[in-house]
Structure 1
Amino acid sequence: MTPRTTNGPVAVLGLGAMGAGLAGRLLDQGIQVRVWNRTPERIAPLAEAGAHAAAHPAEAVAGTTAALCVVADGEALGDVLRGPDGVLSTGPYPGVLICASTVSPDEVVQIAGDVPSVLDVGMLGNRDHARDGELRLFAGGEKTAFEAARPVLEMLSKEVVHLGALGSGMRMKLLLNLLMGVEVQALAEASELAAACGLDRQLVLKTIAGSGFASPVMAFKSRRIAAGRFEEPDFRLRLMAKDLMLATKQAAAVGLSLPLASAAAETHVRATEQGLGDQDCAAVVRALAPKPETDT
């Protein structure tokens, strides 16, 4: 079945930092937007801006030509698509289903099943990029679905790339998050080592941020670490832990050993277990702090 072209209303399912930014961007572009979120309080600001607030995913996608799923993980994506009152609960979705949740590439193929027109899209950027249309998007799926969705994707980004078969977008996203997770942990380790050795942490972080070693992400995260400000996360630590674990599982499936990714995954999982999961991923630095000595 040829998907309807995406020149009509668009649904956004999941209104975390990225989903809310995407919905706001579409509203700014004059698109009719229908939104749903598991916790209704996040809907209010978008409803005030003109979005239709839906009670469940099936209502949100009614009459739309594209649906963006931006939920936390594979379980949530499965519920949104195939659960009670899910997108597919009343039959096939006639538009293009865009899965922008970071899940296992194999999982997105499994969840999609026999959905006629579906893309998996890896998003590179943060909430501000989403709101301002400055994301870079990497899509997997059939070419016909990609071309139908291109107008919406181009509204949301400064670059759109079709990588190939369904699952390709997630593979690219996991690679990118692997790099960020390892990089931010290396920054955190350098910061902790500096403090433990008696160097001024603030000066060290400032030096790193201004050096040739620092990527834009490292420079930005160094400011978070220097300020100890991990609330209002750009990317939650628990989601980074999930993505690093997914990357290591992908590597194992193709016979690769990724020592740096595995070590970073272990640290992020431990940090999540310590209660840091809903803070910014730069809070991994708190999982590296030396434990206080105890009397024996």
Structure 2
Amino acid sequence: MSGRGGAAVLGTGAMGSGIAVRLAEAGRAVRTWNRTAGRADVGHPGAEPCETPEKALAGADHVLLVLSDDRALREVVGVVAGAVAEADRPPLVLALGTVASATVRDLATRVPLLDVGMLGNPMHARTGDLRLYVGGDADRVEAARPLLDDLGKDVRHVGPLGAGMDLKLALNLLMGLEMQALAEVAALAGRLGLDRRSVLEIVGGSGFASPVMRFKGTRMAAGRYGDPDFRLALMTKDLGLAAAAADAAGPALPMTGAALRSHEAACADGWGDHDCAAIAAALDGGGPGDH
């Protein structure tokens, strides 16, 4: 690979595709691979789709694992660990999907790893406006900083390995609780005979709302849950990780448990692949086919 340092992006879903395009536009040589055959092409001439992870890794200085859950991360690290170990100059591996910090620490025994908690959506990934919270060895963080600066407007080293995931999990927990609260406000308003759209607009313009509540409130008001920014299934996964972390660490998080049960029920009703704002529709009962 040539350019400003080669990067292999393994996992080309919504976020991974945006990251690959951004790195290519920043002048880096990019190769991509996805576990699902035929999905590695991100539609940019500077990002070369590969049929195997080994081809994507060849000559890469950085390997970005943009994967949705712990199982996927373990699977892909298992595939690439041998190739990384045999490289003349082993690349630095960055885990960017939200997983348990214990998983990251375990996998760091197999590959040189940093964990990067990402805050933002696919458009932020394409424009380099992510917020990136990095856990790991300080020297490795500094080695990765030029690439991270290409991707993020705010890059922070937040602690040892696992700290990036722990912070991202805490932030996603807050978002999940905000979505649950906003959905319940809409549900109560509707059952009291108020106009739900007007109530959501009023909440969005009030001092009670965060920016994400204003943004997601427009989806709830319009009933627009397709083309998700962040799937409800992933929010459910992160609420489950938060609940498990709380069980292990000790604090009781009753709101987390309640939101998790509500999200699990929504996934069971078929809302998992819709935007996480669909928790509002799920509270009305039934699945997408009933709305």
Structure 2 length-normalised TM: 0.93
| Of 54-63 and 119-128, the range deviating more from structure 2 | 54-63
Report the Cα distance in structure 1 between the residues aligned to 2:228 and 2:100, rounded to whole angstroms: 23
Report the Cα distance in structure 2 between the residues aligned to 1:45 and 1:23, rounded to whole angstroms: 7
Aligned position for 1:219: 214
Mind listing any 5+ residue stretches in structure 2 that lack a counterpart? 287-291
Report the Cα distance in structure 1 between the residues aligned to 2:263 and 2:104, rounded to whole angstroms: 23
| Counterpart pick for 1:18 among 12, 15, 19 | 15
| Counterpart pick for 1:61 among 52, 57, 67 | 57
Deviation at 1:45, TM superposition (A): 3.7
Deviation at 1:41, TM superposition (A): 3.7
Q: How many residues align?
A: 281
Runs of 4+ in 1 over 6 A off after TM superposition: none
Q: Which amino acid aligns with 2:222?
A: A
Distance 1:91 1:21, change over 3 A: closer
Aligned position for 1:256: 251
SS at match of 2:270: helix
Deviation at 1:290, TM superposition (A): 5.1
Report the Cα distance in structure 2 between the residues aligned to 1:91 and 1:28, rounded to whole angstroms: 25
Deviations 1:80-103 (A, max 9, x none): 110xxx211335160110000111
Q: Which amino acid aligns with 1:28?
A: E
Q: Which amino acid aligns with 1:10?
A: A
Aligned position for 2:224: 229
Aligned position for 2:74: 78
Q: Which amino acid aligns with 2:161?
A: L
Quick check: 2:81–2:110 contact (8 Å CA) kept in 1? no
Aligned position for 1:280: 275
Deviations 1:84-131 (A, max 9, x none): xx211335160110000111110111123242x210000011111111
- Aligned CA RMSD, in angstroms, stands at 1.5
SS at match of 1:276: coil
1:96 correspondence with 2:92: yes
Structure 1 length-normalised TM: 0.91
Identity fraction in percent: 50
Deviations 1:162-200 (A, max 9, x none): 111110000000000000000011001100111111001
Deviation at 1:17, TM superposition (A): 1.1
Quick check: 1:102–1:170 contact (8 Å CA) kept in 2? yes
| Counterpart pick for 2:126 among 120, 124, 131 | 131
Report the Cα distance in structure 2 between the residues aligned to 1:136 and 1:11, rounded to whole angstroms: 20
Q: Which amino acid aligns with 2:243?
A: T
Deviations 1:34-63 (A, max 9, x none): 0011224433343x4221111122221110
Quick check: 1:66–1:95 contact (8 Å CA) kept in 2? yes
Q: Which amino acid aligns with 2:56?
A: A
Q: Which amino acid aligns with 1:88?
A: A
Distance 1:215 1:251, change over 3 A: same
Mind listing any 5+ residue stretches in structure 1 that lack a counterpart? 1-5, 292-296
Aligned position for 2:40: 43
Aligned position for 1:239: 234
Deviation at 1:239, TM superposition (A): 0.6
Q: Which amino acid aligns with 1:51?
A: A
Aligned position for 1:3: none
Deviation at 1:270, TM superposition (A): 1.2
1:164 correspondence with 2:162: no
Deviation at 1:160, TM superposition (A): 0.6
Aligned position for 1:201: 196
1:265 correspondence with 2:257: no
Q: Which amino acid aligns with 1:79?
A: E
Deviations 1:189-228 (A, max 9, x none): 1001111110011110110111111111000001001111
Q: Which amino acid aligns with 1:261?
A: T
